A = this chain, B = another copy of it.
Amino acid sequence: MSIQESHLPRQSPLHAVLAPDSVAVIGASNDPTKRGYKAMLGLVQGGYGGNVYPVNPKADSVLGVSAWPTLEALPQAPALALICTPAATVPGLLDECGRRGVKGAIILASGFGETGPRGAQLEAEMLQRAQVGGVRLIGPNTSGIFNLHHRLNLLALDHLKAGDIGVVSQSGNMLLSLALEAEHHGEVGFSTYVGPGNQSDLGFNDYLRYLGEDPHTRVATLYVEGFRDGRAFLQTAREVSAVKPVVVYKSGSTVQGQQSASSHTGALAGSYGMTVDLLRQAGVNVVQYSDDILPVAEGLGQRQQAPGKRVAVIADGGGQATIAADRLTEAGLLLATLADSTRERLAEVLFPQASTVNPVDVAGSSDAEPSLLATCMAIVADDPGVDSVLLVGMFGGYSQRFAESLTGDEMRGAEAMVELAGATAAPVVVYSLYAAVKPPALRRLRETGVPVHTSIENAVKVLVELSARGDYLAHAASADDQATPGKDRFENRTQPAAPGAEGQALIRHARQQGRDLLEPEAKALLAERGIGVLTERVVSSAEALSEAAGDLADTPVAMKVVSPDILHKSDAGGVALDVVGEAAMSAAYDDIMRSARRYDSNARIDGVLVTPMAPKGVEVIIGLMRDPTFGPVIMFGLGGVLVEVLEDVAFRAVPLSRHDAVTMIEQLKAAKVLDGVRGAAGVDKEALVSLLLEVSTLMEAYPDIAELDLNPVIAYPDGYAVVDARILLHRDSLDTDSFDNDSLHSDSEPEA
């Protein structure tokens, strides 16, 4: 994985479609209220250089361009067709496109899958016709596209400036919002925009790959309601994020939002928390608020990354220094500790009442000489303990607020900041009270690629994402370096996991019986792979029990019925905990067998599982599942009721790298518990990392596994113990006649 290249090698078939040499507008119109007029207006006014073919059987010309009655009649095959006519006409038109050799078609109409079963049927038919004819589809239910470096503006949006931000947005209003914000900003421009609509054929992953390959795009920005193929998207995101930033806003952070999104584009929404985790794992910069999309895209496009989290703040007032310190800290960034020599250099140029502790407050020193702020920024940027520099306050507005004569000095300050930004690895980010006023010094900064923000909150979010991207690239690069023989196999994700003989036999046996794995079988499968499960045995006679009791001496044990017919062991009275000594074990054994038979007199009972009670430690849970959108996913969380209530869990797509495993432990809000609180010793995180890595290979090793839960695992200062394990098999790998539906929902017993 290299980060030297600024774009991926050209492979996408979309270049001919999104940067076409000719465009047909089907349903072109002279009626200004029609979409077929707007599109023609955009092409004509925008100065598109390719051939434009309005198709309208009733018009001789549209906006002065000769019109054609049909596609058939055109003098050449257009690369792209924009279809502005209603849904019902689309399948027939796509037949024509196919016959004529059109490479791609944009379907503006709604009335497809998002409206219900009848629309879905029409959408399926449309897709089938397009595939027969070899036409790639954008939409339906899309706002269209633009490609400003090709002067192709099918939306006829005014005032768009060509730039380096590529946008894919499932909401037309969101694109409009970004465009208006960019216009207001003055210096932000766009490369290509695509509205993916229902993603009937082409989806987010196709468009993202195109933006990854497009030399005009420095940052790909996506507003996503839902992915059609999440796993393919993650793969594309990994490739693209290695060469340029990918910024995603994912809507549907709540159930209410998901319902709204679903009624909008018919998209299936997965768990928001899981989606965010998986996107970040793939190197995506996920922003939480729609207000952050453009500032973060601008900031990442300009500076790509920060080498670390340590931010130096230069302020010309205590209030904003404090706000910056609060926001930076809340966001997980660090206030850099300035070296003594740095503080001395600052003290030399500042008034005595200035604070040279970060956040640096110049306290009036710059009132008569605003360029002093640039001097301070250069001093802190020179400190090896500083990864990025944030200026907050009124820079650019000194000439407005104090005296117009300060304009020259402010311009000198801006030039010095531009020079600094070019010379240092530390990104330089500016917040100014006067950003919206756009005084000359701030215009100069923006023109030369130093971001100037209208809000401290936005500026901090840019710093957060710069440092997140820097961290991602550093680990992606180091994983790359280590992909050599002899290195930890989990750094190199290419080796497939091999199944074990016992595990395969256990799964085969269970499949034959049309059931999932029993708890002891699941634990045996895990144990074969070196995963630490509690020693246990299944006893089915008084003699065996007596022998077990002798071996276990006075150790408290858990006893659980083992039966393929009893899924809810507690409900069946099939569980006894904290049993000590032979007499008590014998009584518990009899109890369990009696209760189980009373619960289901026909149940096959294999015996009773006897396990030592796990000593106290920190409860964690690990799960493995196949997400319908993203495929195999591993989950980690702390156990216990509070975490369940607070939903403090982490997700990663499988396969897992060591860095993935480490960060999924670190990201928990309650991660401190693992480090030991209230005098408790910290747990063995390295053992948990190894456990996560090993568990992550199980679906690959045993493709029959549909779902796995280790709940709880008890973590100790030295190692861990898997206390309960559940492994479910795919329905289609079972004899479904004898398959018990309930097993998909069986609860694990509370224990330990």
Stretch at the interface among A211-219, A324-332, A442-450: A324-332
B172 near A317 with CB under 8 A, answer yes
Chain B residues with CB below 8 A from A678, complex form: 641, 644, 750
Known: A33-B403, A176-B433, A436-B180. A323 touches B251 (CB 8 A): yes
B291 near A260 with CB under 8 A, answer no
A316 near B646 with CB under 8 A, answer no
Query: Is A254 an interface residue when CB atoms closer than 8 A count as contact?
Result: yes
Interchain CB contact (< 8 A) of A433 among B177, B316, B326:
B177
Query: Is A645 an interface residue when CB atoms closer than 8 A count as contact?
Result: yes
Chain B residues with CB below 8 A from A261, complex form: 318, 322
Stretch at the interface among A73-81, A98-106, A539-547, A668-676: A668-676
- Distance of A642 from chain B, by nearest CB (Å): 4
Residue among A170, A260, A397, A670 with most chain B CB within 10 A: A260
Known: A436-B184, A646-B646. A251 touches B174 (CB 8 A): no
The complex places the Cα of A184 from the Cα of B455 at a distance, in Å, of: 14
Query: Is A256 an interface residue when CB atoms closer than 8 A count as contact?
Result: yes
The complex places the Cα of A289 from the Cα of B459 at a distance, in Å, of: 13
Chain B residues with CB below 8 A from A253, complex form: 326, 330
- Distance of A709 from chain B, by nearest CB (Å): 15
A254 near B330 with CB under 8 A, answer yes
- Distance of A441 from chain B, by nearest CB (Å): 15
The complex places the Cα of A327 from the Cα of B260 at a distance, in Å, of: 12
Known: A180-B436, A254-B329, A673-B645. A263 touches B318 (CB 8 A): yes
Query: Is A643 an interface residue when CB atoms closer than 8 A count as contact?
Result: yes
The complex places the Cα of A194 from the Cα of B508 at a distance, in Å, of: 79
Chain B residues with CB below 8 A from A361, complex form: 260, 263-264
- Distance of A143 from chain B, by nearest CB (Å): 9
- Distance of A398 from chain B, by nearest CB (Å): 11
Residue among A252, A641, A669 with most chain B CB within 10 A: A641
A403 near B32 with CB under 8 A, answer yes
The complex places the Cα of A263 from the Cα of B359 at a distance, in Å, of: 10
A264-B322, A642-B670 are known contacts; what are 8 more A-B pairs with Cβ within 8 Å?
A33-B402, A171-B319, A176-B397, A180-B437, A254-B326, A256-B326, A641-B678, A644-B678
Query: Is A703 an interface residue when CB atoms closer than 8 A count as contact?
Result: no
| A interface residues (Cβ-Cβ under 8 A, vs B) | 32-33, 110-111, 115, 169-174, 176-177, 180-181, 184, 223, 225, 251-257, 259-261, 263-265, 289-291, 316-323, 325-330, 335, 353, 355, 357, 359, 361, 363, 368, 393-394, 397, 401-403, 433-434, 436-437, 455-457, 638, 640-646, 669-670, 672-673, 677-678, 680, 750
Oligomer copy total:
2
The complex places the Cα of A680 from the Cα of B641 at a distance, in Å, of: 10
Chain B residues with CB below 8 A from A181, complex form: 436
Interchain CB contact (< 8 A) of A669 among B184, B325, B646, B672:
B646
A33 near B368 with CB under 8 A, answer yes
Interchain CB contact (< 8 A) of A265 among B257, B318, B328, B640:
B318
A326 near B257 with CB under 8 A, answer yes
Interchain CB contact (< 8 A) of A176 among B169, B260, B328, B401:
B401
The complex places the Cα of A260 from the Cα of B325 at a distance, in Å, of: 7
Interchain CB contact (< 8 A) of A319 among B184, B223, B394:
B223
B319 near A251 with CB under 8 A, answer yes
- Distance of A732 from chain B, by nearest CB (Å): 32
B644 near A642 with CB under 8 A, answer no
B393 near A263 with CB under 8 A, answer no
Interchain CB contact (< 8 A) of A322 among B225, B329, B353, B397:
B225
Interchain CB contact (< 8 A) of A320 among B171, B368, B456:
B171
- Distance of A262 from chain B, by nearest CB (Å): 9
Known: A33-B402, A171-B320. A291 touches B457 (CB 8 A): yes
Residue among A110, A254, A255, A640 with most chain B CB within 10 A: A254
Known: A32-B403, A646-B670. A169 touches B326 (CB 8 A): no
Chain B residues with CB below 8 A from A264, complex form: 318-319, 321-322, 355, 361
Interchain CB contact (< 8 A) of A318 among B171, B355, B646:
B171
Chain B residues with CB below 8 A from A326, complex form: 251-254, 256-257
The complex places the Cα of A437 from the Cα of B252 at a distance, in Å, of: 28
12 of the cross-chain contacts (CB-CB < 8 Å) are A170-B319, A174-B319, A176-B401, A176-B433, A180-B433, A223-B319, A251-B322, A263-B355, A264-B355, A264-B361, A290-B456, A645-B673
Residue among A263, A322, A329, A353 with most chain B CB within 10 A: A322
> Which chain B residue shows the least CB distance to A119?
B353
Interface pairs A-B: 4 shortest CB-CB: A171-B319, A264-B318, A257-B326, A173-B317
Chain B residues with CB below 8 A from A256, complex form: 325-326, 328-329, 335
B323 near A257 with CB under 8 A, answer yes
Known: A169-B319, A393-B173. A641 touches B677 (CB 8 A): yes
Known: A256-B329, A403-B33. A357 touches B263 (CB 8 A): yes
- Distance of A520 from chain B, by nearest CB (Å): 25
B174 near A291 with CB under 8 A, answer no
Interchain CB contact (< 8 A) of A257 among B252, B325, B677:
B325
Chain B residues with CB below 8 A from A33, complex form: 368, 402-403
> Which chain B residue shows the least CB distance to A111?
B353
The complex places the Cα of A289 from the Cα of B455 at a distance, in Å, of: 10
> Which chain B residue shows the least CB distance to A175?
B319
> Which chain B residue shows the least CB distance to A335?
B256
Chain B residues with CB below 8 A from A402, complex form: 33
Chain B residues with CB below 8 A from A111, complex form: 353
- Distance of A274 from chain B, by nearest CB (Å): 16
- Distance of A122 from chain B, by nearest CB (Å): 14
The complex places the Cα of A457 from the Cα of B289 at a distance, in Å, of: 7
B642 near A673 with CB under 8 A, answer yes
The complex places the Cα of A230 from the Cα of B454 at a distance, in Å, of: 32
The complex places the Cα of A111 from the Cα of B736 at a distance, in Å, of: 83
Chain B residues with CB below 8 A from A641, complex form: 673, 677-678, 680
